[in-house]
Structure 1
Amino acid sequence: MLTLPYTRLSARCTKLPAILLPVIYLVLGILELPRYFAWKSAFFMLCIVAMGVVFQTDRFRSGSTRCGWMALLFLLLWWKIPVLTFRYATLITALFFVIEFFYGRLQTLIFITAALIAPAIDFVVNVFSFPIRLWLTGMAGKVLAGINPQVTTVGNMILVGKHEFSVDPACMGLQMMLTSLLCGVMLIAVYQRRYHKVLPVTGVFLLLVVITGLNIIANLFRIILLVQLGLPPETPAHDAIGIIALLTYVVLPLLRGVKWMLQRYGKAPLQRDDTPVLPRYGMALQLLLLAGIVAVATKESAPTVKMDQQVKQLPGYSYTSLEDNIVKQTTAGSLLYIKGIPGFYFTDHQPMICWKGSGFGFYKIQERFVQGARIYTAELKKDKSTLYTAWWYESRTRRSSSQLEWRWDALCSGNNYYLVNITVEKEALLEPEIQRLLDAHLIQ
C-alpha cells in the first residue's frame, strides 16, 4: 500500500532539483567565467548551435553517476589549481551529471563538443600547430618552386621574386580547425538521428583524426593557390579560395565518409522497457557536489606567486616589475619582456599572441640555434614600421623553444620557466642582444 505514495513522493523530490540545479550551474558559469569565453563572437554562437545539435539523451538509461565523479575530480583540481579551465570542466560535468541522473544518459558527442569549445583547446591548437605552419611553408614552397624557379621560402614567408607572402595570415584555415571539428561532430549527430544508429567511440575519434588531416591538406592547397594567383589577404578572392578549399577538401569528403562509416559500423541503440531506478546515493552526491562548487567558488583566491624576484636585472637596462609576473627591461633601442609561467599547465602569452593583439603581423618566423639554444626569430610589421624580435623559454638550468619540451621538464623537475622576448628596432642589433641575454643567464 505504501508503494504508490512513496513513488509519488520520490517523483516530487526529484522534480525540484532536476529543474533548479541546471539553473544554478548556468548562473555560476556566467559568474565564474566572464572572460573565459568570447560570449559575443561568431565561434561562441557556433558552439551553442553545436551543443544543441548533438544534445540527445537516452531516457531509458537515467540515474548515471559517472559525470558526478568526474565533476568531483575536476572540483579537486579547481581547488588546488585555480585556473579557468578547471572551473569550466567542473561546472560543465556537474551540469551533465544533473542531466544524466534525472533525464537520461548522454552520448559521447556532447562530451567531445564540450571539450572542443573550451578556449584552452583553441590555445593548444593555435600554439602547437605552429610547427605545422612552418612545415606547410616548406611543402608549399617546394611545390611552387617546381612551377616557378623564382620561389623561395624564408621561415613562414614564401618569396616570389620581390613579392612576399606570409603563411601566417594565409594559414587562417588552421585556426578554423576547431570549426571543422565542430561541423564534423554535428554531421555525425545528424546522420545518427537519420539512420537511428550510434557510431562507436573509436569511430568518432577516427573521424576527428581524419578531419584534422583533411584540414592540413586543405590549407596546403589553399596556400599554393593563393601564392600562385597572387591574391593578397583581406580581399574577397582570398577569402573565397579559403572557403572553396575547406568545402572541397574537408566538407565534401565528410559528407560521404560519415555516412559510410555510420552505415558500416553504426549500431542501433538498445531499447529498454523497464523504468530506470535512481540510485539512492545519487542525490547525496548531487548535494555534495553543489556544496563543494559553491564553497570553492566563494573562497578567497590564494595570493599570486611572485616570480619576478628570480629575474636578473641587467646593467644598462631600466627595470620595471609589472602585474602577472612580468618584468620589463628597456634600453634606448631594445625592449625586453620576461614573463614568469607559474606552472606547466598555464598559458604563456607568447609573442605571436601578444604582439598580434597590438596590431603587429609576424613575418619571416624562423627557428635558429644560437650558442646551442633553440630560439625563434621574426619580423614584426605594423603600417610602415618594422621591428625585430626573438623569444624562447628559460629556467635556471635549461632553455628551449619547444612548448612540449619546456612543459615536460617543468612537470618532471618542478623548475619555473620564463618566456624571454627581446625586440629591437634595427636588425643588426638583434643577434648581439640575443647573445648578451644568453650569456647573462637571466633566471637566478
Structure 2
Amino acid sequence: MLTLPHIRSSAGWTKLPAILLPVIYLAFGIWELPHYFAWKSAFFMLCVVAMGVVFQLDRLRPGSTRCGWMALLFLLLWWKIPVLTFRYATLITALFFVIEYFYGRLQTLVFITAALIAPAIDFVVNVFSFPIRLWLTGVAGKVLAGINPHVTTAGNMILLGKHEFSVDPACMGLQMMITSLLCGVMLIAIYQRRYGKVLPVTGVLILLAAIAVLNIIANLFRIILLVQLGLPAETPAHDAIGIISLLAYVMLPLLPGVKWMLQRYGKAVLLRDDVSVPPRYGMALQLLLLAGIVLAVAGGNRATVKMDRQVKHLPGYNYVSLEDNIVKQTTAHSLLYVKGIPGFYFTDHQPMICWKGSGFGFYKIQERLVQGARIYTAELKKDKSTLYTAWWYESRARRSSSQLEWRWDALCSGNNYYLVNITVEDEVLLEPEIQRLLDAHLIQ
C-alpha cells in the first residue's frame, strides 16, 4: 500500500508530484471515460477487488521509467487514433509510471489485471468467441443426441421437442471468461504471497490459457446440463448451474494447478539491502507526459473521416445518413443499416450487440454461403414479434463474415470496411433482399 509515512520519507522535491499526479490522472480517467466502464456494475466492483488483491510493490526498487515510455507510446496512439481504449491505456500506464517512479516496482499481475478489466477485452471475447459458440452447440448437440434422439441443433440453438435452448454469450457462459481470468490472477497473487515466490510471465500466461480452456469445457457441460434438466434462461436454477460449472470445472482444478506451478517454477523473492535511487530525468518524462495528456484532453474528440458518401443510395429505399458513419435505408418491409468502420482497430457495432441493446434475442444463428459470399443469418425475437436478419462485412473489393479476415485485409490493404445488416419482417423476404444487396455492390 502507498502510505503517508512512505511519502514523508521521500525527497522534498518528489513529495508534491508523488501525491498530485495520481489524483490528476484519476480525475482525467473519470472525465474522459464516463461511459467506458459500467462504474456501478458488480463486474466493476470485482475489477476493483482484483486490482486490490494483486497490487504489490517492491519498495526497494523505485525509479523505473518503463511505464513512462509505454504511456508515451499510448499517448501518441491516442492522438493518432482517438479511441477510448488508447485513452484508458495512456492514463493507466501514466498512473503506473507515477507509482513505479516514486514508490516501487509493480508485479506483472498488476499489468495483466489492468488489461483484463478493459472493456475492449470483453468486446474481443464476446465477438471473436462466436465461432466457439457455434462449435460448442454442435458438440453439445451430438452428445445430447446420443442420449436422446429427439435432440437437434440449428445454428446456435439446441432443439428438444418444442423447447428451444439458445447458446448466446450469456447462456453459454463465455461471459464468465473474464470473470474466471480475474479470479485466476487473484488466486495466483494469493499463492505468491503465501509461498514467497513469484511466477515468471510465461508461467502466468500458461495458467491463464489453461483457465480459458477449462472455461470452454465448463460451458460444454453447462449446456448439456441445462438441456437435459430443461432449465430455461433467466431462472435461478439456470444461473446456479452456471456458477456450479464455473466452480467445479474451472476453479477447483485451478487450486492445485496454481500451487504446483508455484512450487515447480516459482522464483523466490530476493531481498535487497540497498534502495535504488530514481533517475532525475524521470521527472522530465513525468512532466512531458502530463503536458501531453493535458493537451490531448483539451483537444477533445477529433473529427472522424466521413464514410457515408461511399454507400450507394438504393432505388426504392428511403435514405438517411446518421451519426458515426451509419447509413439507414428503409422500405415498407425491410430495414438496412450500413455502418462504416474507420479502421481495423475499431469496434464494429455488430448486430449481436446493437439488437440486444434494443431488447431482442438472437436465435438460429447460422453462417451461410450466398453467391460466393459468407454471411450470417439469424432470427430476432422480442416478446411476440420475430424479425429475420443477415449481416456481413463489405469493402469495395471483398466481402467476409470473419472478424479476423476483414480486419487483417483492412490492415494490409487499407480498404475501408462496412458492416451491412439487413432485417425484414417476413422470412421469405430475407433471401431476395440478401441477393439484391450482393448484386448492388453497396460500397462504391
Instruction: Normalising by structure 2, report the TM-score.
Output: 0.97
C-alpha contact (below 8 Å) 1:141/1:153 kept by paired residues:
yes
- Partner residue in 1 for 2:5: none
Query: Per-residue deviation at 1:9?
Result: 11
- Partner residue in 2 for 1:79: 79
- Partner residue in 1 for 2:3: none
Distance in 2 (alpha carbons) for counterparts of 1:16 and 1:200 = 35
- Partner residue in 1 for 2:417: 417
C-alpha contact (below 8 Å) 1:170/1:223 kept by paired residues:
no
- Partner residue in 1 for 2:268: 268
Partner AA of 2:393 in structure 1 = Y
Please show how residues 17-28 of structure 1 align to structure 2 within 5 Å: 17-28=17-28
- Partner residue in 2 for 1:386: 386
- Partner residue in 2 for 1:296: 296
The alignment-based identity, stated in percent, is 87
- Partner residue in 2 for 1:357: 357
Which string of whole-angstrom CA distances, capped at 9 and with x for unpartnered residues, describes residues 184-216 of structure 1? 000000111111110111100000000000000
Which string of whole-angstrom CA distances, capped at 9 and with x for unpartnered residues, describes residues 391-422 of structure 1? 00000000000000000011111111000000
SS of corresponding position for 1:286: helix
Partner AA of 1:418 in structure 2 = Y
C-alpha contact (below 8 Å) 1:197/1:266 kept by paired residues:
yes
Partner AA of 1:158 in structure 2 = I
C-alpha contact (below 8 Å) 1:50/1:182 kept by paired residues:
yes
- Partner residue in 2 for 1:126: 126
Partner AA of 1:396 in structure 2 = R
- Partner residue in 1 for 2:136: 136
Query: Over the residues paired in the alignment, what is the CA RMSD in angstroms?
Result: 1.2
Which string of whole-angstrom CA distances, capped at 9 and with x for unpartnered residues, describes residues 193-240 of structure 1? 111110111100000000000000000000000001111111111111
Distance in 2 (alpha carbons) for counterparts of 1:430 and 1:101 = 60
Which string of whole-angstrom CA distances, capped at 9 and with x for unpartnered residues, describes residues 277-314 of structure 1? 11121111111111111111111432231111000011
Query: Per-residue deviation at 1:171?
Result: 3.1
- Partner residue in 2 for 1:36: 36
Distance in 2 (alpha carbons) for counterparts of 1:268 and 1:9 = 28
SS of corresponding position for 1:367: strand
Distance in 2 (alpha carbons) for counterparts of 1:239 and 1:278 = 51
- Partner residue in 2 for 1:112: 112
- Partner residue in 1 for 2:166: 166
C-alpha contact (below 8 Å) 2:171/2:233 kept by paired residues:
no
C-alpha contact (below 8 Å) 2:319/2:329 kept by paired residues:
yes
Distance in 1 (alpha carbons) for counterparts of 2:235 and 2:277 = 60
Distance in 1 (alpha carbons) for counterparts of 2:147 and 2:366 = 24
- Partner residue in 2 for 1:5: none
CA distance 1:390–1:9, shift in 2 (3 Å): closer
- Partner residue in 1 for 2:338: 338
- Partner residue in 2 for 1:328: 328
Name segments (4+ residues, structure 1) moved above 6 Å. none
Gaps of 5+ in 2: 1-7
SS of corresponding position for 1:345: coil
Query: Per-residue deviation at 1:172?
Result: 4.2
SS of corresponding position for 2:423: strand
Which string of whole-angstrom CA distances, capped at 9 and with x for unpartnered residues, describes residues 227-271 of structure 1? 011111111111111111111000101111111111111111111
Instruction: Normalising by structure 1, report the TM-score.
Output: 0.97
Distance in 1 (alpha carbons) for counterparts of 2:404 and 2:263 = 39
Partner AA of 2:112 in structure 1 = I
In terms of mean alpha carbon deviation, does 232-241 or 399-408 score higher? 232-241
User: Is it true that 1:369 corresponds to 2:369 in the alignment?
Assistant: yes
SS of corresponding position for 2:173: helix
CA distance 1:278–1:38, shift in 2 (3 Å): same
In terms of mean alpha carbon deviation, does 13-22 or 167-176 score higher? 167-176
- Partner residue in 1 for 2:251: 251
Partner AA of 1:161 in structure 2 = G
- Partner residue in 2 for 1:175: 175
- Partner residue in 1 for 2:93: 93
- Partner residue in 1 for 2:4: none
SS of corresponding position for 2:365: strand
Distance in 2 (alpha carbons) for counterparts of 1:199 and 1:206 = 11
CA distance 1:91–1:150, shift in 2 (3 Å): same
Please show how residues 396-435 of structure 1 align to structure 2 within 5 Å: 396-435=396-435
User: Is it true that 1:15 corresponds to 2:15 in the alignment?
Assistant: yes
Gaps of 5+ in 1: 1-7
Distance in 2 (alpha carbons) for counterparts of 1:282 and 1:162 = 67
Distance in 1 (alpha carbons) for counterparts of 2:235 and 2:274 = 60
Query: Per-residue deviation at 1:160?
Result: 1.2
Distance in 2 (alpha carbons) for counterparts of 1:316 and 1:437 = 13
Distance in 1 (alpha carbons) for counterparts of 2:282 and 2:163 = 65
- Partner residue in 1 for 2:316: 316
Distance in 2 (alpha carbons) for counterparts of 1:389 and 1:368 = 13
Partner AA of 2:264 in structure 1 = R
Distance in 1 (alpha carbons) for counterparts of 2:275 and 2:165 = 63
Which string of whole-angstrom CA distances, capped at 9 and with x for unpartnered residues, describes residues 330-372 of structure 1? 1111000000011110000100000000000000000000000
SS of corresponding position for 2:335: strand
Partner AA of 2:331 in structure 1 = T
SS of corresponding position for 1:274: coil
Distance in 1 (alpha carbons) for counterparts of 2:236 and 2:90 = 42
